[in-house]
Structure 1
Amino acid sequence: MEKQFSIGRARDHLPRIVHEVEQGSPIELTRRGKPVAVIVSAQDYQRLAAGRLRFWYALEQFRRSVDPRDLAGDAETFGELRDPLPGRDFTW
């Protein structure tokens, strides 16, 4: 990240920060020297949010179009994946 501002300093320079973000430069906000947030332009945010929604809709469409029973495979392929042992002993 090119630019960083502490939260307190960002409060004092908000108009400048907004202008820089509009020009396409994301700005990282820090608290006690550690990154806590990133300010991005509305255009960049919309692009990022749209990608997340497209994935969700694609996943929903996949779930509607595929029968889970068709994905089960055969016992030979997946039979050895799970350990047949009962696991460790456990008591309360």
Structure 2
Amino acid sequence: MSQQYSIEQIPVNLNKIIQEVEQGEPIEITRQGQQIAVILSTTEYERLVNKAPGFWESLQQFRQEMIEEGIEIDPDEVWKNVRDKSPGREVNL
């Protein structure tokens, strides 16, 4: 569980707070008993900010890697056994 400090306690305990954050402990800051902020280490902050890419970014990266490696993927070849080749049903308008 993370340590809590009120706004009033921060100036008095700043060195201790910094040491705890450097050791990887998040510090909760409160005002009148309500949590208003969290102090994180730089490492934890960077981990949160640089989260894993989403689907679209991953797809774009995959496509770029295929281009760079000279691998060509023919969509017709990939889907040839998946698509239904029947003409479908007759539609009367």
TM-score of Structure 1 vs Structure 2, range by shorter chain: 0.5 to 0.7
SS at match of 1:9: helix
- Matched residues in 1 for 2:9 and 2:25: separation? 17
Which 5+ residue runs of structure 1 have no aligned equivalent?
66-92
Deviation at 1:12, TM superposition (A): 1.6
Query: 4+ runs of 1 displaced by more than 2 Å?
Result: 58-62
Which residue number in structure 2 is paired with residue 14 of structure 1? Answer: 14
Residue-by-residue CA offset, 1:1-28 (whole Å, 9 max, x unaligned): 4310001101221111011011011010
Larger radius of gyration: 2
Over aligned residue pairs, what C-alpha RMSD do you find?
A: 2.1
Flag the structure with higher helix content.
Answer: 1
Which 5+ residue runs of structure 2 have no aligned equivalent?
64-93
Count of matched residue pairs: 61
Deviation at 1:33, TM superposition (A): 0.5
Residue-by-residue CA offset, 1:34-89 (whole Å, 9 max, x unaligned): 0000001000000000017x34xx44676xx9xxxxxxxxxxxxxxxxxxxxxxxx
- Matched residues in 1 for 2:56 and 2:28: separation? 31
**Normalising to structure 1: TM-score of the pair?**
0.56
Amino acid across the alignment from 1:24:
G
1:30-69 matches, within 5 Å, as 30-51=30-51, 54-55=53-54, 58-59=55-56
